[in-house]
């Protein structure tokens, strides 16, 4: 069993990572924003030298996608330089590093699912800052896993599933984008995949999402069907629903690295949604 340090431990993914890694017998130290300022290089080095973890799960991030468009330096400070600090300090204490990245590193113009060897081309500040974090990890660390994920939902924090269920309580009709495709991902399945990953030396970049692909509209329709909620869901285009940050039209993942390295692909997203809805009843 390993000593595992988790950044972003109070976030949507971080809370499930802390719980599941602890249940698996690892010694887990979960740090939130108030416990460690990842943008302060000296603090990060002092922290890792004192704790000397064997594994670092770096899930802390600037995730406000639209806000990042007007707060460019804030996004890069956290996602690029914060990740640089974690990568350099993790390497110094000889800890394996898992860096959580995103589907936003792709521009979404392909009509095929993206595998791990496709060229990246982020559209907005958030994707560019997370991509810069990936580059720092590759430059500064020798034993890393970059785990790109997408459309995350879990019991902790806000997400699309919770938003749809909340809106359905007061709205007779919802308009949902039908021209963006991707892979919903349940935090429990994601954390369990990371748990298996860190036990190996199969380092590299991975696409970790639940299996299967849908649009946001199809995702919403399925949520309401599974909950037995009768509501009018209207498909709309991205242009009809303008946001400050451009979204990739296609962020569907091919999980080639998982397959080739002997890891199980995650269950289908509809199966994951069933289990999530049971969890949050």
Q: Which two tokens stand for residue 172?
A: 């007779």
Name the region of 138 (left: φ>0; alpha: ψ -120 to 50; beta: rest): alpha
Q: Does residue 249 contact residue 180 with C-beta atoms inside 8 Å?
A: yes
Chain centroid to Cα 99, Å, comes to 9
Provide the 8-state DSSP code for 80: I
In this structure, the number of other CB atoms found within 10 A of the CB of residue 41 comes to 16
> Strand locations in the chain, DSSP E?
3-7, 27-31, 55-58, 96-102, 144-149, 152-153, 173-177, 181-182, 185-186, 204-207, 214-215, 232-236
Provide the 8-state DSSP code for 240: G
Name the region of 242 (left: φ>0; alpha: ψ -120 to 50; beta: rest): beta
In this structure, the number of other CB atoms found within 10 A of the CB of residue 237 comes to 10
Sign of CA dihedral 61, 167, 108, 123: negative
* Three-state secondary structure readout of 100-128: EEEHHHCCCCCCCCECCCCCCCCCCHHHH
- Burial (CB < 10 A; 0-12, 13-18, 19+), residue 264, is exposed
- Who's near 49: CB < 8 A, 6+ residues apart? 89, 92, 93
Residues marked active site are found at 126
């Amino acid at each position: 069993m390993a000593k595992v340090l988790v950044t972003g431990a109070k976030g949507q993914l971080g809370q499930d990572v802390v719980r599941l890694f602890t249940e698996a017998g690892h010694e887990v130290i979960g740090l939130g924003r108030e416990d460690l300022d990842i943008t302060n290089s000296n603090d990060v080095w002092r922290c890792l030298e004192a704790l000397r973890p064997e594994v670092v799960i770096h899930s802390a991030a600037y995730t406000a996608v639209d806000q990042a468009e007007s707060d460019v330096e804030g996004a890069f400070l956290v996602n690029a330089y914060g990740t640089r600090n974690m990568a350099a300090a993790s390497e110094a204490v000889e800890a394996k590093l898992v860096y959580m990245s995103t589907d936003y590193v792709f521009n979404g113009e392909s009509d095929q699912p993206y595998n791990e060897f496709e060229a990246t081309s982020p559209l907005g500040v958030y994707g560019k800052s997370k991509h810069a974090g990936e580059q720092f990890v590759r430059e500064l660390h020798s034993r890393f896993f970059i785990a790109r994920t997408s459309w995350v939902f879990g019991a902790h924090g806000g997400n699309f599933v919770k938003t749809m269920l909340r809106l359905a309580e007061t709205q007779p009709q919802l308009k949902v984008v039908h021209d963006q495709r991707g892979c919903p991902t349940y935090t429990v399945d994601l954390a369990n995949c990371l748990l298996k990953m860190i036990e190996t030396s199969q380092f590299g970049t991975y696409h970790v999402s639940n299996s299967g692909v849908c649009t946001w509209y199809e995702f919403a329709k399925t949520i309401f069907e599974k909950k037995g909620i009768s509501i009018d869901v209207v498909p709309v285009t991205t242009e009809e629903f303008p946001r400050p940050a451009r979204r990739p039209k296609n962020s569907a993942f091919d999980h080639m690295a998982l397959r080739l390295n002997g890891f199980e692909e995650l269950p289908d997203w509809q199966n994951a949604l069933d289990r999530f809805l049971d969890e949050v009843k």
